[in-house]
Amino acid sequence: MTRQLFELAGSDPARVFSPYCWRTRMALAHKGLDFKTVPWRFMQKDAIKSHASEKVPVLVDGETSVNDSWTIANYLEDKYPQRPSLFGGEGGRAMARMLNNWSDVSVGQISPFIIADIHAQLDSGDQEYFRRTREKNFGKKLEDVVRGREDRIDGLRKWLHPLRMTLRAQPYLGGTAPNYADYIVFGPFQWARVTSPFELLTPDDVIYAWREKLLDAFGGMARQSPAVAA
């Protein structure tokens, strides 16, 4: 059976960077499921139209197409119940949805620190679209959005406090070992890491140490992804 994951990529097709695609990528690795990555760009709507989606991730699992990272995680948990659990039971599955929504807010919190750097990593065909749509949302130029980020980073670090408090008390959001709760929250950090030289965390932060462990997970899958050196 072939398994394909359509993932948002930059000008370097190996630079898959979407926070949502990273959730799925980590979930597949957690389940021990091989997949072939299909680099996708914003301008390639037609490539996923047959899978009834306008966005990635899209997972094509044999004859089944699934889109949306949350839907994919639930699909994987139900389709492959004998493999390591993503949620650690039904309580975890339910609570992970709230973590998913909290983490989606984190995407919006992180975006103003990296959005201009993301643009620089995009395929030239995507850059005009990305700039136009994002500048419309922010109401200013991407370069102006990120300006002064050094002075604003403490606000983001403070906003992350619930995550920090949790990781001071237990190794992973999923408990003693990582599960989908961790991949949900890791996605936005990896998104920033592979697109921007701007460091969101300080090395003495327990969130930093947790991120390091997830970078090393699955044979260093996330660490080996192209990143932008600071």
Instruction: Give the residue, chosen from 50, 170, 202, 224, that forms a contact with a copy of itself under the rule CB under 8 A.
Output: 170
> Phi and psi (nearest 5°) for 168?
-75, -20
| Binding range to a copy of itself, per CB under 8 A, among 34-42, 57-65, 111-119, 166-174 | 166-174
205 DSSP assignment: S
Query: Is the separation of the CB atoms in 111 and 82 below 8 Å?
Result: no
- What CA–CA distance (Å, rounded) separates 74 from 80? 10
| Residues 86-105, interacting with a copy of itself (CB under 8 A) | 87-99, 101-102, 104-105
Q: How far is the CB of 148 from a copy of itself (least distance, A)?
A: 22
Strand locations in 62-155, DSSP E? 64-67
Task: Evaluate the omega torsion of the peptide bond into residue 57 and state whether it is cis, within 30 degrees of 0.
Answer: yes
- The span of 20-28, 142-150, 170-178, 216-224 binding a copy of itself (CB under 8 A) equals 170-178
In angstroms, the CA 113 to CA 200 distance is 8
Q: Can you tell me which of 173, 207, 215, 222 binds a copy of itself, judged by CB under 8 A?
A: 173
- Under rule CB under 8 A, how many of the chain's residues touch a copy of itself? 31
Shortest spacing between CB 38 and a copy of itself, in angstroms? 28
Q: Exposed, middle or buried by CB within 10 Å (0-12, 13-18, 19+), for 52?
A: exposed
Q: How far is the CB of 97 from a copy of itself (least distance, A)?
A: 5
H helix or E strand, kind and range, residue 39: strand 36-40
Binding flag, residue 165, a copy of itself (CB under 8 A): yes
Backbone angles phi, psi at 38, to 5 degrees: -120, 105
Binding mask 54-93 for a copy of itself (x = CB under 8 A): -------------------------------x-xxxxxxx
Q: Which stretch binds a copy of itself (CB under 8 A): 56-64, 127-135, 158-166, 189-197?
A: 158-166
| Residues at the interface with a copy of itself (CB under 8 A) | 85, 87-99, 101-102, 104-105, 161-163, 165-166, 169-170, 172-175, 179, 181
